[in-house]
Chain A
Amino acid sequence: MSELSAFNAPTTEKKPEFWRWQEECWVDESKDWRSAKIITCGIDVGSVSSQCVVCVDGQLYAYNSMRTGNNSPDSARNAFKGVSVKTGLALNDLHFVVGTGYGRVNVPFSHKAITEIACHARGANYMGGNSVRTILDMGGQDCKAIHCDEKGKVTNFLMNDKCAAGTGRGMEVISDLMQIPIAELGARSFDVDQEPGAVSSVCVVFAKSEALGMLKAGYTKNKVVAAYCQAMAERVVSLLERIGVEESFFITGGIAKNAGVVKRIERKLGIQAMETRIDSQVAGALGAALFGYTLVQKQGPAKPLAAAA
Protein backbone atom coordinates (compact mmCIF):
# COMPACT_ATOMS: atom_id res chain seq x y z
CA MET A 1 0.00 0.00 0.00
CA SER A 2 2.94 2.39 0.36
CA GLU A 3 2.84 3.25 -3.31
CA LEU A 4 -0.88 3.97 -3.09
CA SER A 5 -0.60 6.18 -0.03
CA ALA A 6 2.23 8.19 -1.55
CA PHE A 7 0.15 8.73 -4.62
CA ASN A 8 -2.78 10.00 -2.63
CA ALA A 9 -0.83 12.15 -0.24
CA PRO A 10 -2.62 15.46 0.19
CA THR A 11 -1.00 18.42 -1.50
CA THR A 12 -0.88 21.71 0.30
CA GLU A 13 1.27 23.95 -1.88
CA LYS A 14 -0.38 27.03 -3.36
CA LYS A 15 -0.86 26.83 -7.10
CA PRO A 16 -1.59 29.71 -9.47
CA GLU A 17 -5.34 30.02 -9.91
CA PHE A 18 -5.98 29.78 -13.63
CA TRP A 19 -9.69 29.41 -13.12
CA ARG A 20 -9.99 32.80 -11.42
CA TRP A 21 -12.13 35.00 -13.65
CA GLN A 22 -12.14 38.76 -13.66
CA GLU A 23 -14.30 40.38 -11.02
CA GLU A 24 -15.80 43.62 -12.23
CA CYS A 25 -17.54 46.69 -10.87
CA TRP A 26 -19.13 49.05 -13.40
CA VAL A 27 -21.11 52.30 -13.13
CA ASP A 28 -22.92 54.17 -15.90
CA GLU A 29 -21.36 57.61 -15.40
CA SER A 30 -24.00 59.28 -17.59
CA LYS A 31 -26.66 58.62 -14.95
CA ASP A 32 -27.02 59.96 -11.41
CA TRP A 33 -29.00 58.04 -8.83
CA ARG A 34 -29.60 61.24 -6.83
CA SER A 35 -31.98 62.55 -9.49
CA ALA A 36 -33.80 59.22 -9.94
CA LYS A 37 -37.33 58.54 -8.67
CA ILE A 38 -37.04 54.81 -8.15
CA ILE A 39 -33.83 53.04 -7.18
CA THR A 40 -33.97 49.26 -7.03
CA CYS A 41 -31.36 46.62 -6.41
CA GLY A 42 -31.03 42.99 -7.40
CA ILE A 43 -28.67 40.63 -5.60
CA ASP A 44 -27.85 37.31 -7.22
CA VAL A 45 -25.97 34.99 -4.87
CA GLY A 46 -24.97 32.11 -7.09
CA SER A 47 -23.02 29.00 -6.22
CA VAL A 48 -19.86 30.36 -7.82
CA SER A 49 -20.39 34.09 -8.39
CA SER A 50 -22.45 36.84 -6.76
CA GLN A 51 -23.72 39.97 -8.43
CA CYS A 52 -25.33 43.20 -7.35
CA VAL A 53 -27.19 45.32 -9.91
CA VAL A 54 -28.68 48.73 -9.24
CA CYS A 55 -31.32 50.11 -11.58
CA VAL A 56 -32.49 53.71 -11.61
CA ASP A 57 -36.01 54.20 -12.96
CA GLY A 58 -35.91 50.78 -14.54
CA GLN A 59 -32.59 51.34 -16.34
CA LEU A 60 -29.30 49.60 -15.62
CA TYR A 61 -27.10 51.93 -13.59
CA ALA A 62 -24.37 49.94 -11.87
CA TYR A 63 -23.25 46.40 -11.19
CA ASN A 64 -20.66 44.47 -9.28
CA SER A 65 -19.74 40.88 -10.04
CA MET A 66 -17.52 38.83 -7.76
CA ARG A 67 -16.79 35.34 -6.56
CA THR A 68 -19.16 33.89 -3.95
CA GLY A 69 -17.51 33.37 -0.59
CA ASN A 70 -18.30 30.56 1.78
CA ASN A 71 -21.10 32.52 3.39
CA SER A 72 -24.13 33.77 1.43
CA PRO A 73 -25.01 36.83 3.58
CA ASP A 74 -21.42 38.10 3.39
CA SER A 75 -21.31 37.51 -0.35
CA ALA A 76 -24.48 39.57 -0.74
CA ARG A 77 -23.10 42.37 1.44
CA ASN A 78 -19.78 42.43 -0.41
CA ALA A 79 -21.50 42.53 -3.79
CA PHE A 80 -23.46 45.61 -2.72
CA LYS A 81 -20.44 47.17 -1.05
CA GLY A 82 -18.61 47.31 -4.38
CA VAL A 83 -21.41 49.36 -5.94
CA SER A 84 -21.81 51.42 -2.79
CA VAL A 85 -18.14 52.44 -2.73
CA LYS A 86 -18.23 53.51 -6.37
CA THR A 87 -21.53 55.40 -6.30
CA GLY A 88 -22.06 56.57 -2.73
CA LEU A 89 -25.35 54.64 -2.57
CA ALA A 90 -26.31 53.41 0.89
CA LEU A 91 -28.74 50.62 1.70
CA ASN A 92 -31.38 53.08 2.90
CA ASP A 93 -31.31 54.83 -0.50
CA LEU A 94 -32.72 51.69 -2.12
CA HIS A 95 -36.47 51.54 -2.62
CA PHE A 96 -36.59 47.82 -3.14
CA VAL A 97 -34.12 44.93 -2.99
CA VAL A 98 -34.77 41.56 -4.59
CA GLY A 99 -32.63 38.53 -3.86
CA THR A 100 -32.18 35.74 -6.37
CA GLY A 101 -29.93 32.77 -7.11
CA TYR A 102 -29.01 29.75 -5.08
CA GLY A 103 -28.48 31.87 -1.92
CA ARG A 104 -31.50 34.15 -2.43
CA VAL A 105 -33.08 33.42 0.93
CA ASN A 106 -29.82 34.39 2.63
CA VAL A 107 -29.64 37.96 1.37
CA PRO A 108 -29.95 39.79 4.70
CA PHE A 109 -31.27 43.07 3.25
CA SER A 110 -33.71 41.86 0.61
CA HIS A 111 -37.43 42.56 0.62
CA LYS A 112 -38.28 39.63 -1.58
CA ALA A 113 -36.72 36.52 -3.10
CA ILE A 114 -37.45 35.51 -6.71
CA THR A 115 -36.11 32.41 -8.46
CA GLU A 116 -33.12 32.86 -10.74
CA ILE A 117 -35.07 31.34 -13.62
CA ALA A 118 -37.62 34.18 -13.57
CA CYS A 119 -34.82 36.73 -13.06
CA HIS A 120 -32.64 35.46 -15.91
CA ALA A 121 -35.58 35.59 -18.30
CA ARG A 122 -36.39 39.13 -17.19
CA GLY A 123 -32.75 40.18 -17.41
CA ALA A 124 -32.32 38.64 -20.86
CA ASN A 125 -35.46 40.43 -21.99
CA TYR A 126 -33.80 43.72 -21.00
CA MET A 127 -30.39 42.86 -22.42
CA GLY A 128 -31.54 41.30 -25.68
CA GLY A 129 -34.87 43.08 -26.16
CA ASN A 130 -38.39 41.66 -26.24
CA SER A 131 -37.73 39.36 -29.18
CA VAL A 132 -35.84 36.96 -26.87
CA ARG A 133 -37.70 33.63 -26.60
CA THR A 134 -35.04 31.11 -25.59
CA ILE A 135 -32.46 31.72 -22.91
CA LEU A 136 -29.58 29.48 -22.09
CA ASP A 137 -28.21 30.28 -18.66
CA MET A 138 -24.83 28.68 -18.18
CA GLY A 139 -24.09 29.26 -14.54
CA GLY A 140 -21.42 28.13 -12.16
CA GLN A 141 -23.08 24.94 -10.99
CA ASP A 142 -26.09 24.52 -13.20
CA CYS A 143 -27.34 25.00 -16.69
CA LYS A 144 -30.85 26.05 -17.62
CA ALA A 145 -32.79 26.30 -20.84
CA ILE A 146 -35.62 28.80 -20.44
CA HIS A 147 -38.49 29.84 -22.72
CA CYS A 148 -40.11 33.21 -22.19
CA ASP A 149 -42.71 35.50 -23.76
CA GLU A 150 -42.26 39.04 -25.09
CA LYS A 151 -42.44 40.44 -21.55
CA GLY A 152 -39.67 38.18 -20.30
CA LYS A 153 -42.11 35.97 -18.41
CA VAL A 154 -41.04 32.34 -18.13
CA THR A 155 -43.23 29.91 -20.07
CA ASN A 156 -41.13 26.75 -19.67
CA PHE A 157 -37.71 25.65 -18.50
CA LEU A 158 -35.40 22.69 -18.05
CA MET A 159 -32.33 22.49 -15.90
CA ASN A 160 -29.35 20.36 -15.01
CA ASP A 161 -28.05 20.94 -11.53
CA LYS A 162 -26.94 17.41 -10.76
CA CYS A 163 -23.79 17.25 -12.80
CA ALA A 164 -20.90 19.63 -13.44
CA ALA A 165 -20.69 18.83 -17.15
CA GLY A 166 -21.87 21.86 -19.07
CA THR A 167 -21.37 24.29 -16.20
CA GLY A 168 -18.89 27.00 -15.35
CA ARG A 169 -17.42 24.92 -12.58
CA GLY A 170 -16.53 22.26 -15.16
CA MET A 171 -14.79 24.89 -17.25
CA GLU A 172 -12.81 26.06 -14.22
CA VAL A 173 -11.62 22.51 -13.65
CA ILE A 174 -10.33 22.29 -17.22
CA SER A 175 -8.71 25.72 -17.02
CA ASP A 176 -6.84 24.61 -13.94
CA LEU A 177 -5.87 21.29 -15.48
CA MET A 178 -4.56 22.91 -18.65
CA GLN A 179 -3.02 25.80 -16.74
CA ILE A 180 -4.59 28.30 -19.10
CA PRO A 181 -6.35 31.39 -17.70
CA ILE A 182 -10.08 30.86 -18.05
CA ALA A 183 -10.63 33.98 -20.16
CA GLU A 184 -8.21 32.68 -22.81
CA LEU A 185 -9.82 29.27 -23.23
CA GLY A 186 -12.25 30.37 -25.93
CA ALA A 187 -9.64 31.89 -28.23
CA ARG A 188 -7.19 29.04 -27.65
CA SER A 189 -9.82 26.48 -28.57
CA PHE A 190 -9.92 27.85 -32.13
CA ASP A 191 -6.15 27.86 -32.50
CA VAL A 192 -6.00 24.23 -33.68
CA ASP A 193 -5.02 22.59 -36.96
CA GLN A 194 -8.11 20.41 -36.93
CA GLU A 195 -11.22 20.25 -34.79
CA PRO A 196 -10.90 17.20 -32.48
CA GLY A 197 -13.75 14.96 -31.35
CA ALA A 198 -15.40 15.81 -28.04
CA VAL A 199 -14.22 14.37 -24.75
CA SER A 200 -16.80 12.78 -22.43
CA SER A 201 -19.74 15.15 -22.40
CA VAL A 202 -21.17 13.55 -19.33
CA CYS A 203 -18.75 13.63 -16.43
CA VAL A 204 -16.11 16.27 -15.70
CA VAL A 205 -14.07 13.76 -13.70
CA PHE A 206 -13.91 11.44 -16.71
CA ALA A 207 -13.35 14.33 -19.10
CA LYS A 208 -10.37 15.27 -16.95
CA SER A 209 -8.76 11.85 -17.28
CA GLU A 210 -9.58 11.80 -20.99
CA ALA A 211 -7.95 15.20 -21.37
CA LEU A 212 -4.78 13.92 -19.70
CA GLY A 213 -4.84 10.95 -22.04
CA MET A 214 -5.07 13.28 -25.03
CA LEU A 215 -2.07 15.27 -23.83
CA LYS A 216 -0.14 12.02 -23.49
CA ALA A 217 -1.18 11.06 -27.00
CA GLY A 218 0.47 14.24 -28.27
CA TYR A 219 -2.51 16.61 -28.56
CA THR A 220 -1.68 20.26 -28.04
CA LYS A 221 -3.26 21.97 -25.04
CA ASN A 222 -5.36 24.04 -27.43
CA LYS A 223 -6.72 20.92 -29.04
CA VAL A 224 -7.67 19.46 -25.68
CA VAL A 225 -9.44 22.70 -24.80
CA ALA A 226 -11.24 22.51 -28.15
CA ALA A 227 -12.34 18.95 -27.37
CA TYR A 228 -13.65 20.09 -24.01
CA CYS A 229 -15.51 23.11 -25.43
CA GLN A 230 -17.03 20.75 -27.97
CA ALA A 231 -18.17 18.39 -25.22
CA MET A 232 -19.70 21.23 -23.27
CA ALA A 233 -21.53 22.46 -26.37
CA GLU A 234 -22.87 18.94 -27.01
CA ARG A 235 -24.06 18.71 -23.47
CA VAL A 236 -26.01 21.98 -23.42
CA VAL A 237 -27.37 21.48 -26.92
CA SER A 238 -28.93 18.20 -25.79
CA LEU A 239 -30.59 20.12 -22.94
CA LEU A 240 -31.76 22.84 -25.34
CA GLU A 241 -33.10 20.32 -27.83
CA ARG A 242 -35.33 18.78 -25.20
CA ILE A 243 -37.12 22.10 -24.77
CA GLY A 244 -36.67 23.39 -28.33
CA VAL A 245 -34.96 26.56 -29.48
CA GLU A 246 -37.08 29.47 -30.64
CA GLU A 247 -35.42 32.66 -31.82
CA SER A 248 -34.25 35.02 -30.61
CA PHE A 249 -31.72 33.01 -28.68
CA PHE A 250 -29.81 34.58 -25.80
CA ILE A 251 -27.07 33.20 -23.55
CA THR A 252 -26.56 34.42 -20.00
CA GLY A 253 -24.09 33.42 -17.29
CA GLY A 254 -20.32 33.27 -17.27
CA ILE A 255 -19.89 30.79 -20.13
CA ALA A 256 -21.53 33.26 -22.51
CA LYS A 257 -18.13 34.98 -22.44
CA ASN A 258 -16.39 31.86 -23.73
CA ALA A 259 -16.54 32.04 -27.52
CA GLY A 260 -15.11 28.51 -27.70
CA VAL A 261 -18.34 27.14 -26.27
CA VAL A 262 -20.76 29.73 -27.68
CA LYS A 263 -19.60 29.38 -31.30
CA ARG A 264 -19.79 25.61 -31.07
CA ILE A 265 -23.32 25.77 -29.65
CA GLU A 266 -24.30 28.10 -32.50
CA ARG A 267 -22.75 25.74 -35.03
CA LYS A 268 -24.68 22.76 -33.67
CA LEU A 269 -27.98 24.60 -33.43
CA GLY A 270 -27.56 26.51 -36.68
CA ILE A 271 -28.76 29.58 -34.76
CA GLN A 272 -26.79 32.65 -33.76
CA ALA A 273 -26.96 33.84 -30.17
CA MET A 274 -27.78 37.55 -29.72
CA GLU A 275 -24.97 39.86 -28.80
CA THR A 276 -25.02 42.29 -25.92
CA ARG A 277 -22.71 44.89 -24.46
CA ILE A 278 -23.79 44.13 -20.92
CA ASP A 279 -21.88 41.55 -18.85
CA SER A 280 -23.73 38.24 -19.33
CA GLN A 281 -23.05 37.28 -15.72
CA VAL A 282 -25.28 40.02 -14.29
CA ALA A 283 -28.46 38.92 -16.10
CA GLY A 284 -29.99 37.36 -12.97
CA ALA A 285 -29.30 40.29 -10.67
CA LEU A 286 -30.46 42.67 -13.40
CA GLY A 287 -33.75 40.77 -13.72
CA ALA A 288 -34.12 40.91 -9.94
CA ALA A 289 -33.59 44.69 -9.88
CA LEU A 290 -36.15 45.07 -12.70
CA PHE A 291 -38.69 42.97 -10.76
CA GLY A 292 -38.06 45.36 -7.87
CA TYR A 293 -38.81 48.29 -10.15
CA THR A 294 -42.13 46.79 -11.25
CA LEU A 295 -43.05 46.09 -7.63
CA VAL A 296 -42.31 49.67 -6.55
CA GLN A 297 -44.42 50.97 -9.43
CA LYS A 298 -47.30 48.74 -8.31
CA GLN A 299 -47.14 49.06 -4.54
CA GLY A 300 -44.77 51.92 -3.74
CA PRO A 301 -41.31 51.79 -2.16
CA ALA A 302 -40.58 49.30 0.56
CA LYS A 303 -39.59 50.39 4.03
CA PRO A 304 -36.07 51.91 3.91
CA LEU A 305 -33.38 49.50 4.98
CA ALA A 306 -31.27 50.07 8.03
CA ALA A 307 -27.76 51.02 7.01
CA ALA A 308 -26.31 48.40 9.31
CA ALA A 309 -27.98 45.45 7.57
Chain B
Amino acid sequence: MITAGIDMGSRTIKVVLLEDIKVDGAPQLQYAVRKTHIIFPGDLDQEEAAEKVYGEALAAAGLARDQIASVYATGAGRKQVRFATDSVTEMTAGARGSVYMFPSARTVVDVGAEEGRGIKADARGKPTDYAGNEKCAAGAGSFAEAMSRALQLSLKEFGEASLRSGKSIPMNAQCTVFAESEVVSLIHANTPKEDIAKAVLDAVASRVCAMVRRVGIENDVVLIGGMVHNTGFVQSLKKAMDVDSILLPDMPEYVSALGCALLAAESQH
Protein backbone atom coordinates (compact mmCIF):
# COMPACT_ATOMS: atom_id res chain seq x y z
CA MET B 1 0.00 0.00 0.00
CA ILE B 2 1.20 3.49 -0.83
CA THR B 3 0.08 6.65 0.97
CA ALA B 4 0.97 10.32 0.56
CA GLY B 5 1.59 13.20 2.94
CA ILE B 6 1.56 16.81 1.82
CA ASP B 7 2.90 19.66 3.92
CA MET B 8 1.54 22.98 2.69
CA GLY B 9 4.02 25.36 4.26
CA SER B 10 3.86 29.11 3.95
CA ARG B 11 7.01 29.09 1.86
CA THR B 12 7.50 25.64 0.36
CA ILE B 13 5.28 22.67 -0.31
CA LYS B 14 6.53 19.18 0.39
CA VAL B 15 5.21 15.76 -0.49
CA VAL B 16 6.26 12.31 0.68
CA LEU B 17 5.08 9.05 -0.93
CA LEU B 18 5.34 6.16 1.50
CA GLU B 19 5.06 2.44 0.98
CA ASP B 20 4.49 -0.09 3.73
CA ILE B 21 6.55 -3.22 3.63
CA LYS B 22 5.57 -6.42 5.35
CA VAL B 23 8.61 -8.10 6.81
CA ASP B 24 7.95 -11.64 7.98
CA GLY B 25 8.35 -11.96 11.72
CA ALA B 26 8.72 -8.22 12.36
CA PRO B 27 6.37 -7.03 15.10
CA GLN B 28 5.49 -3.81 13.31
CA LEU B 29 4.96 -2.62 9.80
CA GLN B 30 8.01 -1.20 8.11
CA TYR B 31 7.80 1.73 5.80
CA ALA B 32 9.93 2.93 2.94
CA VAL B 33 9.89 6.38 1.43
CA ARG B 34 9.15 5.98 -2.29
CA LYS B 35 9.56 9.61 -3.28
CA THR B 36 10.01 13.08 -1.82
CA HIS B 37 9.42 16.32 -3.66
CA ILE B 38 9.53 20.01 -2.75
CA ILE B 39 8.44 23.10 -4.67
CA PHE B 40 8.26 26.85 -4.18
CA PRO B 41 4.70 27.74 -5.15
CA GLY B 42 5.85 31.02 -6.71
CA ASP B 43 2.91 32.50 -8.57
CA LEU B 44 0.68 29.49 -8.07
CA ASP B 45 -2.13 29.64 -5.56
CA GLN B 46 -2.18 26.98 -2.87
CA GLU B 47 -4.66 24.75 -4.67
CA GLU B 48 -2.67 24.76 -7.92
CA ALA B 49 0.58 24.30 -6.04
CA ALA B 50 -0.79 21.24 -4.25
CA GLU B 51 -1.83 19.76 -7.61
CA LYS B 52 1.58 20.51 -9.08
CA VAL B 53 3.71 19.04 -6.30
CA TYR B 54 1.54 15.92 -6.06
CA GLY B 55 1.38 15.40 -9.81
CA GLU B 56 5.14 15.79 -10.20
CA ALA B 57 5.89 13.42 -7.33
CA LEU B 58 3.55 10.75 -8.72
CA ALA B 59 5.02 11.11 -12.20
CA ALA B 60 8.57 10.83 -10.86
CA ALA B 61 7.63 7.71 -8.89
CA GLY B 62 5.79 6.24 -11.88
CA LEU B 63 2.54 5.98 -9.95
CA ALA B 64 -1.06 6.78 -10.85
CA ARG B 65 -3.45 8.59 -8.51
CA ASP B 66 -5.61 5.54 -7.95
CA GLN B 67 -2.62 3.64 -6.62
CA ILE B 68 -2.48 5.94 -3.60
CA ALA B 69 -4.60 4.55 -0.76
CA SER B 70 -4.87 7.74 1.24
CA VAL B 71 -3.53 11.32 1.21
CA TYR B 72 -3.15 13.41 4.37
CA ALA B 73 -2.39 17.13 4.31
CA THR B 74 -0.91 19.45 6.91
CA GLY B 75 0.52 22.96 7.12
CA ALA B 76 -0.93 26.44 6.86
CA GLY B 77 -2.65 25.72 3.54
CA ARG B 78 -3.84 22.18 4.32
CA LYS B 79 -7.48 23.01 3.63
CA GLN B 80 -6.59 23.94 0.07
CA VAL B 81 -5.61 20.38 -0.83
CA ARG B 82 -8.73 19.29 -2.69
CA PHE B 83 -7.67 15.69 -3.24
CA ALA B 84 -6.69 15.04 0.41
CA THR B 85 -8.48 12.25 2.24
CA ASP B 86 -8.04 14.11 5.53
CA SER B 87 -5.95 16.81 7.14
CA VAL B 88 -4.08 17.07 10.44
CA THR B 89 -2.43 19.96 12.29
CA GLU B 90 1.27 20.75 11.97
CA MET B 91 1.72 19.56 15.56
CA THR B 92 0.24 16.13 14.88
CA ALA B 93 2.21 15.69 11.68
CA GLY B 94 5.48 17.02 13.10
CA ALA B 95 5.33 14.87 16.24
CA ARG B 96 4.41 11.71 14.31
CA GLY B 97 7.18 12.15 11.77
CA SER B 98 9.79 13.01 14.40
CA VAL B 99 9.06 10.10 16.70
CA TYR B 100 9.03 7.74 13.71
CA MET B 101 12.50 8.89 12.74
CA PHE B 102 13.79 9.09 16.31
CA PRO B 103 11.76 6.87 18.67
CA SER B 104 13.45 8.51 21.68
CA ALA B 105 12.37 12.04 20.72
CA ARG B 106 10.02 13.69 23.23
CA THR B 107 10.51 17.36 22.43
CA VAL B 108 10.09 18.47 18.84
CA VAL B 109 11.31 21.90 17.83
CA ASP B 110 9.79 22.87 14.49
CA VAL B 111 11.17 26.01 12.89
CA GLY B 112 9.45 26.75 9.60
CA ALA B 113 9.45 29.82 7.38
CA GLU B 114 6.80 31.78 9.23
CA GLU B 115 6.26 29.86 12.44
CA GLY B 116 8.40 28.37 15.16
CA ARG B 117 6.93 25.99 17.70
CA GLY B 118 7.76 23.54 20.41
CA ILE B 119 5.84 20.27 20.58
CA LYS B 120 5.83 17.70 23.34
CA ALA B 121 5.32 14.18 22.03
CA ASP B 122 4.61 10.84 23.68
CA ALA B 123 6.22 7.51 22.78
CA ARG B 124 3.63 6.86 20.06
CA GLY B 125 4.36 10.20 18.42
CA LYS B 126 1.19 11.91 19.59
CA PRO B 127 1.48 15.58 20.56
CA THR B 128 0.57 16.15 24.20
CA ASP B 129 1.28 19.88 24.35
CA TYR B 130 2.61 22.63 22.14
CA ALA B 131 3.51 26.31 22.19
CA GLY B 132 4.01 28.46 19.15
CA ASN B 133 3.82 31.95 17.88
CA GLU B 134 1.55 32.48 14.92
CA LYS B 135 1.42 36.24 15.19
CA CYS B 136 4.99 37.33 14.75
CA ALA B 137 7.76 36.35 12.35
CA ALA B 138 10.52 36.77 14.95
CA GLY B 139 11.65 33.30 15.94
CA ALA B 140 10.95 31.81 12.53
CA GLY B 141 12.98 30.96 9.47
CA SER B 142 11.98 34.03 7.49
CA PHE B 143 13.67 36.17 10.13
CA ALA B 144 16.99 34.46 9.50
CA GLU B 145 16.34 34.59 5.78
CA ALA B 146 15.69 38.35 5.82
CA MET B 147 18.86 38.89 7.82
CA SER B 148 20.98 36.76 5.51
CA ARG B 149 19.68 38.88 2.65
CA ALA B 150 20.69 42.04 4.49
CA LEU B 151 24.17 40.55 4.92
CA GLN B 152 24.24 39.40 1.31
CA LEU B 153 25.06 35.84 2.29
CA SER B 154 23.30 32.66 1.23
CA LEU B 155 21.54 30.85 4.07
CA LYS B 156 24.26 28.21 4.13
CA GLU B 157 27.09 30.76 4.26
CA PHE B 158 25.12 32.62 6.89
CA GLY B 159 25.03 29.62 9.23
CA GLU B 160 28.67 28.78 8.63
CA ALA B 161 29.75 32.39 9.20
CA SER B 162 28.06 32.41 12.59
CA LEU B 163 30.12 29.39 13.68
CA ARG B 164 33.29 31.39 13.15
CA SER B 165 32.24 34.10 15.58
CA GLY B 166 33.36 34.03 19.18
CA LYS B 167 31.39 37.14 20.16
CA SER B 168 27.85 37.53 21.34
CA ILE B 169 26.29 40.83 20.40
CA PRO B 170 22.75 41.21 21.71
CA MET B 171 20.10 42.26 19.18
CA ASN B 172 17.80 44.92 20.57
CA ALA B 173 15.05 44.60 18.03
CA GLN B 174 12.50 41.86 18.38
CA CYS B 175 10.73 42.65 15.14
CA THR B 176 12.15 41.26 11.89
CA VAL B 177 11.54 44.56 10.15
CA PHE B 178 13.42 46.53 12.81
CA ALA B 179 16.15 43.93 13.12
CA GLU B 180 16.87 44.42 9.44
CA SER B 181 17.67 48.09 10.11
CA GLU B 182 19.72 47.06 13.12
CA VAL B 183 21.74 44.69 10.96
CA VAL B 184 22.31 47.51 8.48
CA SER B 185 23.62 49.73 11.31
CA LEU B 186 25.92 46.93 12.44
CA ILE B 187 27.22 46.61 8.88
CA HIS B 188 27.85 50.36 8.76
CA ALA B 189 29.69 50.13 12.07
CA ASN B 190 32.03 47.63 10.36
CA THR B 191 30.98 44.75 12.59
CA PRO B 192 32.32 41.53 11.05
CA LYS B 193 29.64 39.59 9.16
CA GLU B 194 30.20 36.47 11.23
CA ASP B 195 29.48 38.36 14.46
CA ILE B 196 26.28 39.78 12.99
CA ALA B 197 25.24 36.34 11.74
CA LYS B 198 25.76 34.90 15.20
CA ALA B 199 23.83 37.77 16.81
CA VAL B 200 20.87 37.10 14.50
CA LEU B 201 20.89 33.33 14.99
CA ASP B 202 21.27 33.69 18.76
CA ALA B 203 18.23 35.96 18.70
CA VAL B 204 16.12 33.48 16.71
CA ALA B 205 17.29 30.64 18.94
CA SER B 206 16.43 32.51 22.11
CA ARG B 207 12.93 33.25 20.84
CA VAL B 208 12.35 29.67 19.71
CA CYS B 209 13.73 28.44 23.01
CA ALA B 210 11.34 30.66 24.97
CA MET B 211 8.46 28.94 23.18
CA VAL B 212 9.82 25.45 23.75
CA ARG B 213 10.33 26.16 27.45
CA ARG B 214 6.60 26.75 27.74
CA VAL B 215 5.99 23.07 27.01
CA GLY B 216 9.08 21.97 28.93
CA ILE B 217 12.27 20.51 27.53
CA GLU B 218 12.43 16.74 27.81
CA ASN B 219 15.15 14.62 26.20
CA ASP B 220 15.61 13.74 23.45
CA VAL B 221 15.18 16.94 21.53
CA VAL B 222 14.73 16.85 17.76
CA LEU B 223 14.80 19.84 15.42
CA ILE B 224 12.76 19.73 12.22
CA GLY B 225 12.15 22.23 9.44
CA GLY B 226 14.49 23.95 7.02
CA MET B 227 16.57 25.63 9.73
CA VAL B 228 18.26 22.27 10.40
CA HIS B 229 20.43 23.09 7.37
CA ASN B 230 21.69 26.15 9.19
CA THR B 231 24.53 24.77 11.27
CA GLY B 232 25.00 28.06 13.09
CA PHE B 233 21.39 28.07 14.20
CA VAL B 234 21.61 24.50 15.50
CA GLN B 235 24.62 25.53 17.59
CA SER B 236 22.85 28.64 18.93
CA LEU B 237 19.75 26.62 19.75
CA LYS B 238 21.75 23.98 21.60
CA LYS B 239 23.26 26.70 23.74
CA ALA B 240 19.97 28.52 24.32
CA MET B 241 18.17 25.31 25.32
CA ASP B 242 21.11 24.17 27.38
CA VAL B 243 21.06 20.62 25.99
CA ASP B 244 24.03 18.45 25.04
CA SER B 245 22.67 17.32 21.74
CA ILE B 246 19.84 17.91 19.33
CA LEU B 247 18.78 15.14 16.99
CA LEU B 248 18.81 16.26 13.38
CA PRO B 249 16.91 14.37 10.68
CA ASP B 250 18.46 13.88 7.25
CA MET B 251 15.60 15.47 5.38
CA PRO B 252 14.33 17.97 7.91
CA GLU B 253 11.86 19.74 5.61
CA TYR B 254 10.00 16.50 4.93
CA VAL B 255 9.41 15.34 8.51
CA SER B 256 5.87 16.74 8.73
CA ALA B 257 4.95 15.42 5.27
CA LEU B 258 6.33 12.04 6.36
CA GLY B 259 4.23 12.23 9.53
CA CYS B 260 1.18 12.83 7.35
CA ALA B 261 1.96 9.88 5.12
CA LEU B 262 2.38 7.65 8.20
CA LEU B 263 -0.92 8.82 9.65
CA ALA B 264 -2.54 8.17 6.29
CA ALA B 265 -1.12 4.65 6.29
CA GLU B 266 -2.19 3.99 9.88
CA SER B 267 -5.72 5.11 9.07
CA GLN B 268 -5.94 2.25 6.59
CA HIS B 269 -5.30 -0.49 9.12
Cα of A38 to Cα of B17 in the assembled complex, Å: 79
- Do B177 and A204 touch (CB < 8 A)? yes
- Do A202 and B136 touch (CB < 8 A)? yes
- Do B229 and A216 touch (CB < 8 A)? no
Name the residue in A1, A202, A206 with the highest tally of chain B Cβ atoms < 10 Å from its Cβ: A206
Chain A window 1-21, contacts with chain B (Cβ cutoff 8 Å), 1 for yes, 0 for no: 101110111111000000000
Q: Which residues of B contact A11 (CB under 8 A)?
A: 149
- Do B148 and A70 touch (CB < 8 A)? no
- Do B114 and A169 touch (CB < 8 A)? no
Known contacts A70-B185, A203-B137; A9/B178 CB under 8 A: no
Q: Is A309 an interface residue (CB 8 A)?
A: no
Chain A window 35-52, contacts with chain B (Cβ cutoff 8 Å), 1 for yes, 0 for no: 000000000000100000
Cα of A163 to Cα of B179 in the assembled complex, Å: 10
Known contacts A10-B149, A217-B45; A164/B156 CB under 8 A: no
Chain B window 147-171, contacts with chain A (Cβ cutoff 8 Å), 1 for yes, 0 for no: 0110111111000000000000000
Chain A window 191-202, contacts with chain B (Cβ cutoff 8 Å), 1 for yes, 0 for no: 000000000101
Q: Report B95 CB to chain A, min CB distance, Å.
A: 24
Known contacts A169-B181, A205-B114, A205-B137; A162/B174 CB under 8 A: yes
- Do B135 and A141 touch (CB < 8 A)? no
- List residues of chain B with CB under 8 Å of any chain A CB: 10, 38, 40, 43, 45, 114, 135-137, 142-143, 145-146, 148-149, 151-156, 174-178, 181, 184-185, 188-189, 226, 229
When the two chains form the complex, which single residue of A3, A5, A141 contacts B156, counting CB atoms closer than 8 Å?
Answer: A5
Give me 5 A-to-B residue pairs in the complex whose CB atoms sit less than 8 angstroms apart, sorted by A's number: A10-B151, A203-B175, A204-B177, A205-B176, A216-B45
- Do A10 and B152 touch (CB < 8 A)? yes
- Do A10 and B178 touch (CB < 8 A)? no
Chain A window 58-88, contacts with chain B (Cβ cutoff 8 Å), 1 for yes, 0 for no: 0000000000001100000000000000000
| Number of chain A interface residues as a range | 20 to 34
Residue of A nearest to B177 (CB): A164
When the two chains form the complex, which single residue of A5, A12, A209 contacts B152, counting CB atoms closer than 8 Å?
Answer: A12
19 new A-B pairs (CB below 8 Å) besides A70-B188, A209-B114, A216-B45? A1-B156, A4-B226, A8-B154, A8-B155, A10-B148, A10-B152, A47-B178, A70-B189, A163-B175, A169-B181, A170-B177, A202-B135, A204-B137, A204-B176, A205-B143, A205-B146, A205-B177, A206-B114, A206-B137
Cα of A47 to Cα of B184 in the assembled complex, Å: 13
Q: Report A305 CB to chain B, min CB distance, Å.
A: 27
Q: Which residues of A contact B155 (CB under 8 A)?
A: 4-5, 8
Cα of A217 to Cα of B176 in the assembled complex, Å: 26
Cα of A7 to Cα of B184 in the assembled complex, Å: 22
Residue of B nearest to A142 (CB): B178
Known contacts A205-B114, A216-B43; A162/B175 CB under 8 A: yes
When the two chains form the complex, which single residue of A9, A203, A217 contacts B154, counting CB atoms closer than 8 Å?
Answer: A9
Residue of A nearest to B48 (CB): A216
- Do A205 and B154 touch (CB < 8 A)? no
Q: Which residues of A contact B229 (CB under 8 A)?
A: 1, 4
